[in-house]
Structure 1
Amino acid sequence: MTSPETATDFDVTSDWHVANPYPFLRRLRHDRPVFWSDHLGMWVLTRYHDVRAAYRDHETYSSVGSLTISRTLTDEVKETLGEHRSFLDDFAANVDPPKHTRMRRAISRAFTPRAVARLGDEFRAKVDAVLDAVVPEGRADFTAEIAHLPSARLAAVFIGVPPEDEERVKHWVTSWFQLFLSPQPPERQRELAQDFLKYLDYVDRLVTERRAEPREDFASLMAELIGTDLSHREVVETISALLLGGNDTVPNGLSNAVHRLLRERHVWAEIVADRSLIPGMIEESLRIDGASLGSFRTTTREVTLHGTAIPAGTQLLLHADSAGHDETVFADPERFDIRRPNARDHMVFGYGVHHCVGAALSRLKMEIAFERLTTRLPSLRPAPGAAPAYRKSMVGRGLQTLPVEWDER
């Protein structure tokens, strides 16, 4: 059986690929820092300084098409999706300057410090509402019942999705991730493609409605910019992508951090006793158990790196998760050290012009979640006899299930 110690390539269908890729990535950093993956069909950069340099050099490493990774789709499904198989072509993370600069400036209007603080207050209320429902039970699947709900609900409120539509949107978002970012059999691909088209249609109608009748939400704010700063498609794809992030990135980060803390129980006890340690713990958790594996880029010219020639027009994976374990930057990288002075130098939220515009909100949401968890569930622990399970994905380290329990109070 292939393991991270014996693997010779990435394999997103294997259990180790997301659960514990680090021995494999360590060998790549040491022996083949510029690695051609037959399985992914692209080059992979694994060293910290190479990844950071590529993020910074957007003229050589283009973001155009970076989120359109659909190599596993059947021809039938590609035909069904039509132009939408290139979904997110007009999202800020998927374009280069100057278009990226214009779009980022527009999107940033919704992420002022005051707006982020207000969203934090709403998130705190949603975390407490979820905990009110589960605390009396004494146990839960942390991923499904605690981590995902507050973040998904806040994303819906922020965008302007009515409460009655939240479950449908969450279902469609899950289908998007499964369709584009994890291998699926042909029959399942057909089902997911139909969900994806329903998702696009829903967001398109939401934008049209908000343009006609604005409200106090992000969809209305973006709809006001159509025809001046942004096109209709750019707004639809921006909203679609932000809903994806709210339903995935922060929940993954929370679940990964809790899983780590429950294995390193002394650290959980430390943050329960001293909540000022929570921000540092979050950065270290993002570094060591990054919710994102990295970003895709395409070379605009031939590049020679560590003696390896990478042709122009070639796709690469900038492996930020591997970079977070680079021992030349992070001393003793497999040790979970919540006081690590440079933990924040990880690149989970990207780097350079493509640093995530919602990073401050994501960090705040994680801080609030852990403040409430340590206050209300100080006895949180793994449920006996129930093992956590990772999902299989090309781009995200996330848990499908994380069974936990606590003492009822």
Structure 2
Amino acid sequence: MDFDVSSDWHVAAPYGFLRTLRHEHPVFHSEHLGAYVLSRYSDVRGAYADPRRFSSKGSLTISRSLTEETRARLGEHGSFLSSFVANVDPPDHTRLRRSVSRAFTPRAVANLERQFRELNERLLDRVEPQGKAEFVAELGHEPSVKLTARFIGVPEEDEAFVQARVKDWFQLFLSPQPPERQLELADSFLTYLAYVDRLVAARRDDPRDDFVTLMTGSELSHREVVELISTILLGGNDTVPNQLGNSVLRLLREGVWPVPGDRLAGAVEECMRIDGASLGSFRYATEDIELHGVTIPRGSLVLLSTDSAAHDETVFPEPERFVIDRPNADAHLVFGYGIHFCVGAALGRLQLRTALEVLGDRLPGLRLVEQPVVYRTSLVGRALAALPVEWA
């Protein structure tokens, strides 16, 4: 019994395995992951809340599967994300988060909602007459990609370039790849970093009303800004659209499409709980940690399984059942917890609610095209490879 990130069940249907871990091995050493796994809700949340013992420093730079040749190709960038806000501990974390939070004021988020609604409406003006679409490629990504580009300050003509490079970023660091493919992805990743580096440098010389300019005027170093921009682009180009696809699939399967407006917020939380786009986060043990009779040695890698926590029956009764008005659905840990609670959580929730509202209004007859559902292979993400849909 172990994780197998190359198997279909790891992303599509891991819940029986995770249930066994919670009941029988709440602190499980995975040979496959090279990490200890915390699977119970209380332990996962407790680890998030204890950055002194469960350190974030270096936790996102999980690239042990890379070959020596790939590491050599990456050079200093093999430690990419070393100064990203979710990858450090206080006091660096405090300084970085303070700078980032300046961009997420209520007024700024409200303005982004208006823009995002317009982007969804414009896309549907174009696609609706077709009567069918592949949701992931044709409906799920474009509005989020464009909103993120506008927010960051990426020129419209560069959106496709960034989206392609972000997919390569994801594959290189968070999905097992054969050696030759690793080198291709490494070259793409270096091209991406060089692009972001040039964008940041350009804003220092020519300030504009965008996030890059705001960050270049902050207390952050050039490298910190480059890594921050690179990773926020990952969220907008990948994570949020992935969650939208997961949510649409769930809602259609459950027969609750379109979602009534007064139930939309609850539906979004329950979709994130039951089909989270993020499966967990890694941490490092800073000391020997005793938990449930198991010693996690100092320096060990630890996976905080938010996917398992979200299906913990002691917190969420009948966790495999979709309950659109589940009273505590928002207690899921998809956005993390404690000091590392995702700074973009409000924006992510806003995008999901807005997209589902517009899609429901414009495509009330949306339905699945029957064929096997396939997920992308991933270490810590849940994303559909494709989702064919049609409507009357």
1:354-369 correspondence to structure 2 within 5 Å: 354-369=340-355
1:303 counterpart residue number: 289
| 2:252 corresponds to 1:262 | yes
Q: Which has the higher mean CA deviation after the structures are superposed, 53-62 or 146-155? A: 146-155
Give the Cα–Cα distance (whole angstroms) in 2 for the partners of residues 222 and 140 of structure 1. Answer: 38
Partner letter of residue 254 of structure 1?
L
- 2:64 counterpart of 1:71: yes
Code of the residue aligned with 2:25 in structure 1: it is: R
1:398 aligns with 2:387: no
Corresponding position of 1:217: 210
**Code of the aligned partner of 1:11:** D
Is the CA contact (8 Å cut-off) linking 1:387 and 1:403 kept in structure 2? no
Q: Measure the CA separation in 1 of the matches of 2:231 and 2:248.
A: 25
The correspondence of residues 238-387 of structure 1 with structure 2, limited to 5 A, is 238-265=228-255, 267-269=256-258, 271=259, 274-384=260-370, 386-387=371-372
TM-score for both structures, normalised by structure 1 = 0.95
Shift of 1:234: 0.5
| Residue among 169, 187, 208 paired with 2:162 | 169
Deviation, 1:261, is 1.1
Describe the SS at the equivalent of 2:83: coil
**Matched residue type, 1:372:** V
- What's the TM-score once normalised by structure 2's chain length? 0.99
User: Which one of the candidate residues 52, 68, 81 is aligned to 1:88?
Assistant: 81
Contact 1:34 1:44 in 2 (8 A): yes
Distance 2:24 2:381 in 1: 24
Q: Distance in 2 between matches of 1:14 and 1:160?
A: 38
Query: In the TM superposition, what whole-angstrom CA distance separates every residue of 1:73-110 from its partner, at most 9, and x where no partner exists?
Result: 11100000011011011100000011101100000000
Query: In the alignment, does 2:6 pair up with 1:13?
Result: yes
Letter in 2 for 1:199: Y
Secondary structure, counterpart of 1:304 in structure 2:
strand
User: What residue identity is the alignment partner of 1:328?
Assistant: T
Alpha-carbon distance between aligned partners in 2 of 1:67 and 1:126, rounded to the nearest angstrom: 31
Q: How far off its partner does 1:143 sit?
A: 1.0
Matches of 2:123 and 2:385 in 1, distance apart?
19
2:225 aligned to which of 235, 238, 241: 235
Amino-acid identity (%): 62
Deviations 1:220-247 (A, max 9, x none): 110112xxx1111111001111000101
One-letter code aligned to 1:88: L
1:379: Cα distance to partner? 0.4
Structure 2: give runs of 5+ residues left out of the alignment.
none
Question: How many angstroms apart in 2 are the aligned matches of 1:72 and 1:132?
Answer: 44
Q: Check the 8 A contact 1:387/1:402 in 2, yes or no.
A: no
Distance 2:353 2:270 in 1: 13
Paired position in structure 1 for 2:141: 148
- For 2:387 and 2:373, how far apart are their aligned partners in 1? 5
In structure 2, what residue type is equivalent to 1:378?
A: P
Distance 1:135 1:237 in 2: 37
Corresponding residue for residue 5 of structure 1 = none
Contact 1:56/1:353 (8 A) holds in 2:
yes
AA partner of residue 18 (structure 2): L
State the distance in 1 between where 2:378 and 2:175 align: 5
The residue type paired with residue 231 of structure 1 is: S
Give structure 1 regions of 4+ aligned residues with deviation exceeding 2 angstroms. none
2:141 is paired with a residue of what secondary structure?
helix
Q: Is the 8 A contact 1:34 1:305 kept in 2?
A: yes
**Helix, strand or coil at the partner of 2:333:** coil
Cα drift, residue 129 of structure 1? 1.5
Aligned partner letter, 2:278:
S
Deviations 1:290-324 (A, max 9, x none): 11001100010000000000111110000001100
Question: What CA deviation, in whole Å up to 9, does each residue of 1:173-207 have, x standing for no partner?
Answer: 00000011111111111110000000000000000
Aligned residue identity for 2:254: E
Aligned AA for 2:249? H
Once the two structures are TM-superposed, the CA of residue 387 in structure 1 deviates from its matched residue by 2.6
Letter in 2 for 1:103: L
CA distance in 2, matches of 1:143, 1:35: 34
Q: Secondary structure at the match of 2:137?
A: helix
**Quick one: distance in 2 between partners of 1:127 and 1:185?**
37
Cα distance in 2 for residues equivalent to 1:341 and 1:377:
28
* C-alpha deviation, 1:388, in angstroms: 2.5
1:50-85 deviation per Cα after TM superposition (whole angstroms, max 9, x unaligned) = 000000000000000111011211110000001101
Contact kept, 8 Å, 1:139 with 1:383, in 2: the verdict is no
Q: Distance in 1 between matches of 2:35 and 2:330?
A: 28
* Aligned equivalent of 1:4: none
Partner of 1:201: 194
In the alignment, the residues of structure 1 paired with residue 106 and residue 244 of structure 2 have an alpha-carbon distance, to the nearest angstrom, of 22
Report 1:52-67 matches (<5 A).
52-67=45-60
SS in 2 for 1:389: coil
